[in-house]
Structure 1
Amino acid sequence: MFIKNTWYVAAWDKEVGTDGLFARTIIGVPVLMYRKQDGEIVALEDRCCHRGAPLSVGRREGDCVRCLYHGLKFDATGQCVEAPAQPRIPPQARVRTFPVVQRHRWIWIWMGDQDQADPALIADTPWLDDPGWRSEDGYIHYDVNYLLICDNLLDFSHLPFVHPTTLGGGADYAASQPKVERLDNGVRITRWALDTDPPPFATAVKDWGGKVDRWNIYNFTVPAILLMDSGMAPTGQGAQQGEREGAIEFRGCQAITPETEHSTHYFFAHPHNFAIDQPQVTRSIHQAVVDAFEEDREIITAQHRSLSLAPDFKMVAFGIDAALNQFRWIVARRLEQEAAATRAVIPVVAVQTPAAPAVRV
Structure 2
Amino acid sequence: MDGNEPITRNGQRIPNGMLQENYPRNMWWVAAHSREVTSKPLARWILETPVVLYRLEDGKPAALYDRCPHRWAPLSEGHVDGDKIVCPYHGMEFNSEGLCTKAPTQHMKPKRAEIPSFAVREAGAFIWIWMGEQDSIDCDPPEVDYQVDPNWSFLDGYYEVAANWVLIRENVMDLTHIAFLHKNTFKQNDWVTPPDHYMEGDTVCYEQDFDLAPLSPLFCAGMGLPEDKPIKRTQKGRMPSLAISFSDWVVHDPTPEPDARAEFVMRGCHIVIPSVRGKTHYFWGAAFDVPSITDDVAEKTKASIVVAFDEDKHLLEIMQKQISKDPRGLDFLEVTLGADGAGIFVRQILNKKLKAEGRPL
Deviates more, 1:58-67 or 1:198-207: 198-207
In structure 2, give the amino acid aligned to 1:92. R
Deviation at 1:282, TM superposition (A): 2.4
Match of 1:182? 199
Aligned equivalents of 1:5 and 1:168: distance in 2? 39
SS at match of 1:158: helix
Match of 1:196? 213
Match of 1:295? 311
SS at match of 1:271: strand
Aligned equivalents of 2:249 and 2:145: distance in 1? 16
Aligned equivalents of 1:228 and 1:304: distance in 2? 24
Deviation at 1:245, TM superposition (A): 5.7
Match of 1:228? 247
In structure 1, give the amino acid aligned to 2:174. D
Instruction: Indicate conservation of the 8 Å contact 2:214/2:228, yes or no.
Output: no
Match of 1:255? 271
Aligned positions, number: 331
Q: CA RMSD in A?
A: 2.3
The answer on 1:47 being equivalent to 2:67 is yes
Deviates more, 1:250-259 or 1:215-224: 215-224
Runs of 4+ in 1 over 6 A off after TM superposition: none
Q: Deviations over 1:95-138 (max 9, x none)?
A: 111111112221011111112224x4311112211111112231
Aligned equivalents of 2:30 and 2:298: distance in 1? 23
In structure 1, give the amino acid aligned to 2:29. Y
Match of 2:280? 264
The answer on 1:5 being equivalent to 2:21 is no
For the pair shown, the structure with the greater C-alpha radius of gyration is 1
SS at match of 1:70: coil
Match of 2:90? 70
SS at match of 2:208: strand
Aligned equivalents of 1:256 and 1:277: distance in 2? 27
Aligned equivalents of 1:270 and 1:178: distance in 2? 21
Deviation at 1:84, TM superposition (A): 3.0
Summarize the alignment of residues 136-215 of structure 1 with structure 2, pairs less than 5 Å apart: 136-170=155-189, 172-175=190-193, 177-204=194-221, 205-207=224-226, 210-215=229-234
Partner of residue 325 from structure 1, selected from 344, 350, 357: 344
Match of 2:4? none
Deviation at 1:268, TM superposition (A): 1.7
Deviation at 1:235, TM superposition (A): 5.8
Higher RCO (C-alpha 8 Å, min separation 6): 2
Kindly tell me: are residues 89 and 186 of structure 1, through their superposed partners in 2, closer, same or farther at Cα, counting changes over 3 Å?
Answer: same
Instruction: Indicate conservation of the 8 Å contact 1:218/1:226, yes or no.
Output: yes
Aligned equivalents of 2:149 and 2:83: distance in 1? 31
TM-score by length of 1: 0.85
Aligned equivalents of 1:257 and 1:303: distance in 2? 18
Aligned equivalents of 1:208 and 1:340: distance in 2? 49
Partner of residue 262 from structure 2, selected from 238, 246, 265: 246
Match of 1:100? 120
Identity of aligned residues (%): 31
Match of 1:286? 302
Aligned equivalents of 1:335 and 1:21: distance in 2? 31
Instruction: Indicate conservation of the 8 Å contact 1:276/1:282, yes or no.
Output: no
Aligned equivalents of 1:15 and 1:143: distance in 2? 22
Aligned equivalents of 1:82 and 1:203: distance in 2? 57
SS at match of 2:51: strand
In structure 1, give the amino acid aligned to 2:137. A
SS at match of 2:251: strand
Deviation at 1:337, TM superposition (A): 0.7
Deviation at 1:203, TM superposition (A): 4.3
Q: Deviations over 1:193-233 (max 9, x none)?
A: 21233222244542265422222212113332112322332
SS at match of 1:173: coil
Match of 2:48? 28
Deviation at 1:255, TM superposition (A): 1.1
Q: Deviations over 1:318-350 (max 9, x none)?
A: 112121122112101110011179xxxxxxxxx
Instruction: Indicate conservation of the 8 Å contact 1:186/1:330, yes or no.
Output: no
Deviation at 1:71, TM superposition (A): 2.8
Kindly tell me: are residues 217 and 271 of structure 1, through their superposed partners in 2, closer, same or farther at Cα, counting changes over 3 Å?
Answer: same
